[in-house]
Amino acid sequence: MSTQVPEKTESETETETETERTETPGDRRRAEKRARQKGTTEAQETTETDEESIHLKVFRYDPEIEGKMEPRFDDFHVPFTKGMTVLDALMLARDRFDTTLTFRHSCRQAICGSDALFINGTQRLGCKTQISDLEEPVRVEPLPHAEVVKDLVVDMEHFYDQMHAVEPYFQTNEAPSDELQEQHQSRENREKIKMSTRCIWCGACMSSCNIAAGDNEYLGPAALNKAFRFAMDKREGEDMREHRFEILDQEHGVWRCQTQFSCTNVCPKDIPLTEHIQELKRSAVKNNLKFW
């Protein structure tokens, strides 16, 4: 019943994300904000431009409704307001023009990870992508390399399966038996795993990964990052570390990564995924020379 998103070329992801930026989107927004606060004349001009509309091209598909089974793009023109995000625009389009438009979203503050989308050719969270940072028309598609359930909703089962495959839970024989006694961890060790613990399971990295696209069994960047989080946590102990490397040091484990950095480029939480995977490779080599 499901279908792959059509016409997706893998190189799109690469080129978009490697674009050199002299000023960050944040710099630009702040400059606009300052200009806005300077005087009333400018403020009025801003108000006028606020009434502009934004042009969205949104991917549509429904497996059971006649006329929607053939994937297509719908155009929406929604009123633009300063600070509007892609998620805001989608919600407006849905609530005002077409309530059948379907997408996942919840926290709208970049922590629930449910609205990762393919926006102008890059994996991003809809809620933390400012419309003002994008070129029009803004093209919104479901995450590539996943089955489309309906419109912008993709099946996440495979992603969850890969996450679960690395035993994504703390395991130690060294926890204190006293229920009130802490198991100490050095600040340094906490710092080491800090970035890896920030993963929100949005799936952007997995969707951007060419290797994962071609090898369904590859654990992929998110799961490997999760494995890094535990493998580098010294509280787990040496035995468990060895066990973890047995899982990673396999044909579809760390060695599949080809250091393309696409995962790192798209991660909305700035996790250095590629770096983490390389460090796991180094550790695997040190543990037990074995190349796949």
- Write down the least CB distance from residue 148 to another protein, Å: 10
Nearest alpha carbon to residue 214 among 246, 166, 258: 258
CA distance 241 to 171: 10
**Residue 267 dihedral angles phi and psi, to the nearest 5°:** -60, 120
199-228 footprint of another protein as x/- string (CB under 8 A):
-xx---------------------------
Residue 158 near another protein by CB under 8 A = no
CB 225 within 8 A of CB 273: yes
Residue 210 parent element (H or E): helix 210-214
CB 55 within 8 A of CB 120: no
- Write down the least CB distance from residue 226 to another protein, Å: 9
Question: Exactly one of 74, 110, 237, 278 binds another protein (CB under 8 A); which one?
Answer: 110
Question: Exactly one of 170, 251, 282, 285 binds another protein (CB under 8 A); which one?
Answer: 170
Residue 176 near another protein by CB under 8 A = yes
58-97 footprint of another protein as x/- string (CB under 8 A):
----xxxx-----------------x----------xxx-
Q: Is the peptide bond before 137 cis (omega within 30 degrees of 0)?
A: yes
User: Any idea which residue has 């509309």 for tokens?
Assistant: 53
- Helices and strands: H and E segment counts in the chain: 12, 7
Name the residues that contact another protein, by CB under 8 A.
26, 29-30, 32-33, 62-65, 83, 94-96, 98-100, 102-103, 105-114, 128, 130, 149-151, 153, 156, 160, 164, 167-172, 175-176, 179-187, 190, 193-194, 197-198, 200-201, 230, 233, 235-236
